[in-house]
Amino acid sequence: MDIFNKCYDFTAADEAIAQGVYPYFHALESKQDTEVVMDGRNTIMLGSNNYLGLTSDQRVIDAGIRALEQYGTGCSGSRFLNGTLKLHLELEKELAAFVGKEAAITFSTGFQTNLGIISSIATKGDYILSDNENHASIVDGCRLSFAKTIKFQHSDMADLERLLKNIPGENGKLIITDGVFSMSGEICNLPAIVNLAEKYGARILVDDAHALGMIGANGRGTAAHFGLVDKVDIIMGTFSKSLASLGGFIAARERVINYVKHFSRPFIFSASIPPANAAVAMEAVQIMKNHPEMPLMLIENANYMRRGFKERNIPALDGETAIIPVMTYTNDRTFIITKMLLEAGVYVNPVICPAVRPGECLLRTSYTATHTKDQLDRALDAFSYVFAKAEEMGI
């Protein structure tokens, strides 16, 4: 059998393109901002993770330009050998201090960060307890680990305790959870997780990819949001969202970071993040430190949209973060409504099976601190028009 048969047999994308409802790979022709030029027309962006709007902030752009001029375009090697810049060390110090840990280490992408920390920390004889709605990077990190991975039902603390009870006391245990879940916008039940971890001698890793910049004082994340920084062992974050760059990091005790530096294959065998990426992330952290109002503006905008959806009878789920799912239920309906919204000047992210359970398809909408009320009102008008039109068409 030809190994490429699976490629030839995959026709779902071609069929969606032929039907005119393929929703992926739309090209931006402008900066990532609250409004973008997409496929040649102005579009309100409600599908970005640019939560604080820093991708188009001139201070951030200038920081990247200065780093390019000082350090060049790349590092041409791994951090382990020739690829460590003074800039990397300064950034790691800033990140650790920002989230309240002793030390930090950076990786080339957020996805790689989870691969690197999980596969090095959890080894043979250890147990990983992972929320079954955790991000794909956590799932793959667990696969790379030689530890035994057990999934607990989403945010189900009774199920988590049941599993913890059955693990022998002498085995290492690591509980992993998203801080803010990327599809639902739900915040994890960190206080209960901390109580169970203390009761059963487990460590905790919180993936704050979406929480950083969104919750906690100054956007410091989930542990800060609950006042539990000292109770969380490892905090993971990415640069591609609130920090307006590309890369990732973990922050923990210095001895933990030192171990990861010497045992994490994704860290050791990958080139370090380019100078401009590091400088942009550093500038974003400085802005977050100096502007505690920005995460508040972000949540204010999200709450404005929640109220608007409710007033217009749009089936949006309630919550307290800047991610608002709007239910569309079926794959076909999701694709059609996504296309209609784009034609009405609003971009959203369609989420279909198997990323969600059958009958639970949705539009993932997300917001930015710099969205204006005029932009949000125009987006709400587009939603009202499209959902009314869909109902009229019997979709």
Catalytic residue among 101, 173, 241, 339: 241
93 is catalytic: no
Question: Residue 203's beta-bridge partner residues?
Answer: 174
225 is catalytic: no
Q: Which residue shows structure tokens 């109580």?
A: 195
78 is catalytic: no
Catalytic residue among 137, 182, 184, 366: 182
Catalytic residue among 88, 101, 210, 339: 210
Query: What residues are annotated to the active site?
Result: 182, 210, 241
